[in-house]
Amino acid sequence: MAIDAPALTRTETDSIGSMEIPADAYWGVHTARAAANFPITKRPISVYPDLIRALAMVKQASARANKEIGVLDAERADLIDRAAQKVIDGEFHDQFVVGVIQGGAGTSTNMNANEVITNVALELAGREKGDYGFLSPIDHTNRSQSTNDVYPTAIKIGLSLTLRELLEELDLLRLSFLGKSREFHDILKVGRTQLQDAVPMTLGQEFHGFATTLGEDYSRLTENASLMFEINMGATAIGTGITTHPNYSRAVLRHLREISGLDLQTATDLVESTSDTGSFMSFSSSLKRNAIKLSKICNDLRLLSSGPQAGLGEINLPAMQAGSSIMPGKVNPVIPEVVNQVAFAVVGSDMTVTMAVEAGQLQLNAFEPVIAHSIFQSITWMRQAMWTLRVNCVDGITANRDRLGAMVGSSVGVITALTPFIGYAASAALAKTALLTNRNVADLVVEAGLMSREEVTKQLAPARLSGLETITAAIPVIAAEDIIE
């Protein structure tokens, strides 16, 4: 007697018609149509795991809330709950196959989640995938919900989860620069403004500035992340809460707070919060700020390490790879360069978010998919850029002490430290002489009879030159014509 081979497909039907779905797929007809309709980026939503986890959290919280208020029986609610937990734990993410860019304001993403969680739940119940008569993706898993409250809520939770990893990496990068500032604390160098020689400082001070600016970004990102905590669950289609039980909004918020660990709050005006996406724009803007400042730091690292013979050559970046297919021995600053490019992409993504937020119409913004993709991509790329900058560049930076010392010794900028004692006019005249004759500034000051050698040496000590010790003394006015030529 022949044994029938297992079916390779199953038939699913929606309002448009029927389709054959692979028998082993946990997604269904709605997802299949979306995958066919939006072959744009060739990147499924599963490339952002925290978004998938957040979707499952919303479905789990809704199942618990629906069970609590009595609009979903315990058996089905518990099955959805258990299935959602598996997705939260990282299972079945490969079944989230719709593209990151899609029409429909995120409906395809919501349906992908509904179908996967439903079919996982059906398997837990010992039933076949697609047995929607027992457990329906829409009537049960999506009960009391609409894409228009599920999707933005999941985006906000997902971004909050992903941001944690970015902030961890940002702080590690800050600490790396801080460590270098301690290592270089006693190394004098010439500061520069407008790419021209300025007054002395220490290399440690320069790197400490990098650490400080990254710490400020940590604070700004954290502040703007709090905007993600206002959600609109219970709003359903446009904010009026149609199809929901009066107690659902409070119940789902309580469960979602417990599941996510986030300090979520329900918006006071659900109509407004369903149509407004301004919080995404503010958050994206803070990412852009961080990217721009990080790019500026990388510009500085490339300048400081330029050469090594004909450039500034003040620091050495780790040699990571050969820099040329034609010039032997050339090594390029590839790590700062890639971080620069990530920053450029983040700026572009922020403009995309801005335009998408502006394009919202009436009671809904249909362009949240590109908003979500843009911000998730920015966070993901920034996190990886920070990691490679820290591990493959900053941690291995060394200082060219001899070169830095020689530049400070020959710099006329050090005379600025003597202006409180000999005045601006005398300092300017001696600086001009030093540049014309290539003489040492300290020697000229002593020869002019303006200060003793001992006093000049004291005032040009590293601590004084770098501002670590301040000078507060009366300034005797010395005219330029009084200087001994």
Q: Is residue 201 within a helix (H) or strand (E), and if so which, with residue range?
A: strand 196-202
Q: Is 374 assigned a catalytic role?
A: no
Question: Quick one: CA dihedral 69, 113, 277, 261, positive or negative?
Answer: positive
**Beta bridge mates, 369:** none
Q: List Cβ neighbours of 24 (8 Å cut-off, separation of 6 or more).
A: 129
DSSP conformation letters of 308-375: SSSS---EE----S---SSSTT----HHHHHHHHHHHHHHHHHHHHHHHHHT-BTTB-TTHHHHHHHH
Q: Is residue 430 within a helix (H) or strand (E), and if so which, with residue range?
A: helix 424-437
Q: What is the Cα 266 distance to its own chain's centre?
A: 26
Four-point Cα dihedral 61, 62, 63, 66, nearest 10: 130
Among 18, 219, 324, 452, the one annotated catalytic: 324
Q: What is the Cα 211 distance to its own chain's centre?
A: 16
Distances (CA, A) of 156 to 284, 312, 357, 449: 12, 45, 15, 70
Helix, coil or strand: residue 188: strand
Give CA angle at 461 (430, 428), nearest 5°: 15
Catalytic (active-site) positions: 324
